[in-house]
Amino acid sequence: MWDVVHRLGSPRTFYTIAGRWQPWLWALAALLLGTGSVWALLFAPADYQQGDSFRILYVHVPAAILAQSCFVLMAVAGAIFLVWRIKLADMVATVIAPFGAAMTGVALFSGSVWGVPTWGTWWVWDARLTSMLIQLFLYLGVIALRGAFASRDGGARAASLLTLVGVINIPIIKYSVDWWNTLHQPATFTLTQRPAMPAEMWLPLAVMVLGFYAYFVALTLTRTRSEILRREGRKRWVLELGS
């Protein structure tokens, strides 16, 4: 069993397998995102309360979901790296961090733009948006800590540990922000909390979420391959790729 783990964890095997999968995943992502976008923008019915501004949901929610899963995945990769010292796990974590931060930024942006027609202001200290903002700071901290170390291995281990601390804290932060929010704004209208959505509304959302995930996997594979080339650039098998 350990043999399998180590083979999969070998950058060389990963590079080959990911190279084979990557075009299909990009195609799948383009297909899902394309269909989802057309469906969400053209065919999904407008919301009876929010009208067509509701269509922001189709980019806001997938970005928010992905931003959260990225942190969890980063923590899993960090734990694997800390325990088994599999370098590939750290490469994946390195690559996920900026993307997760970007998705958090996108979710914050679309959320606050959505806030204008719904709340009348660009920013409301809504529980979801506030947790998102804190999550952005967590991402920035992990990225900054990794960059601050002179040795790559030290930075990798420190960032992994901070990610683990962060992932334990995220549910606590979410819970406390919710508590704080209900304390101060008893009955605000939350953007995405609504009575059960009809199928013609959530089906395109599901397609968009899947599309975002497919995109994420494709992007991570491609960027991890580049990271392998960057870090292992002096290994024999990598040099042979160049010829």
Partner 1 sequence: MAFESLNAFLNMGGYAPYVWPAWGVTLAVLVGGGLQAVAEHRRRLRELRRRQRRAAADAAPREAAPRKAVPRGSHDARA
Partner 2 sequence: MQPRTSVAGLGPALLATLRRDLTVALRRRGDLVNPPAFFALVITLFPLGISPVPEQLAAIAPGLLWVAALLATQLSLDALFRSDHEDGSLEQLLLAPQPLAALVLAKVAVHWLLTGLPLALMAPLLGLLLSLPSGSYGVLAASLALGSATLGLIGAIGAALTVGLARGSVLLSLLVLPLTIPVLIFGSGAVQAAAMGGDVAPALAMLGAQLALALMLAPWAIAGALRISIHG
Would you tell me which residues interact with partner 1 (CB under 8 A)?
A: 26, 33, 37, 41-46, 51-53, 55-56, 59-60, 63, 85, 87, 99, 102-103, 105-106, 109-110, 113-114, 116-117, 151-153, 215, 218-219, 222-223, 225-226, 229-236, 238-239, 241-243
State the binding partner of 162 from partner 2, partner 1, none, CB within 5 to 8 A by kind: partner 2
Distance in angstroms (rounded) separating the CA atoms of residues 133 and 107: 10
Q: Which is nearer to partner 2, 169 or 226 (CB)?
A: 169
Q: Which is nearer to partner 1, 175 or 237 (CB)?
A: 237
140 touches partner 2 (CB under 8 A): yes
For the CB of residue 209, give the shortest distance to partner 1 in the complex, in Å.
13
Nearest C-alpha neighbor of 135 from the set 166, 98, 96, 177: 166
For the CB of residue 185, give the shortest distance to partner 2 in the complex, in Å.
14
Stretch near partner 2 under the rule CB under 8 A, chosen from 12-20, 21-29, 53-61, 150-158: 150-158
Q: Is the separation of the CB atoms in 227 and 91 below 8 Å? A: yes
Angstrom CA distances, 86 to 75, 93, 94, stand at 14, 11, 13
Task: Render 26-81 in DSSP notation, one character per residue.
Answer: HHHHHHHHHHHHHIIIIISPPBTTTBGGGGGHHHHHHHHHHHHHHHHHHHHHHHHH
Which residues sit opposite 47 in a β-bridge? 51
Angstrom CA distances, 3 to 7, 10, 95, stand at 6, 10, 25
Residues contributing to the site for partner 2 (CB under 8 A): 82, 134, 137-138, 140-141, 144-145, 148-149, 151, 153-154, 157-158, 161-162, 164-166, 168-169, 172-173, 175-177, 179-180, 183
